[in-house]
Structure 1
Amino acid sequence: MPIVQIQMMAGRPPEKVKKLIERVTDTVAEELGSPKERIRVLVTEIPKTHWGIGGIAASDREDR
């Protein structure tokens, strides 16, 4: 049973996350020949206050 873990900053619309899960599942099924029912995709959304880039919280960066 393939398990795919995705960590990303929070803030995307739920529809985008659902589409990501769908497309990752399709890709894994195609590439590994695994039935979709056996594929698990875990999406963890991290608050920008808990995501550091270059020593600065993403919530404090100007280039976000």
Structure 2
Amino acid sequence: MPLIDISIARGRTPEQLRALIDGVHRVAETTVDAAPENITVIVREVEPAHWARGNTTITERHS
């Protein structure tokens, strides 16, 4: 029963997020032989101002 938890910066379209879920779901099916009904995918969107690497937020990098 794979539980796949994805954190991604907010800003993608609903279509992009749906494609991400679909792609990850398919990979879980084929790589670990998981039954489709047992795969859970969670996408957590994080505000760019709340996501930092190297003490610089995504918002600051794109300013």
TM-score, normalised by the number of residues in structure 2: 0.90
- Percent identity of equivalent pairs: 30
* Number of residues of Structure 1 aligned to a counterpart in Structure 2: 63
Give per-residue Cα distances to partners, 1:6-55, cap 9 Å, x unaligned.
11111011101001101100110111111111100011010001001211
Residue of structure 2 equivalent to 1:26: 26
1:34 alignment partner AA: A
Aligned counterparts, 1:1-64, within 5 A: 1-62=1-62
What are the ranges of 5 or more consecutive residues in structure 2 without an aligned counterpart? Answer: none
| Structure 1 gaps, min length 5 | none
What do you get for the CA RMSD once the two structures are aligned? 1.3
Q: Tell me the TM-score normalised to structure 1 length.
A: 0.89
- Would you identify which runs of 4 or more consecutive aligned residues in structure 1 move more than 2 Å? none
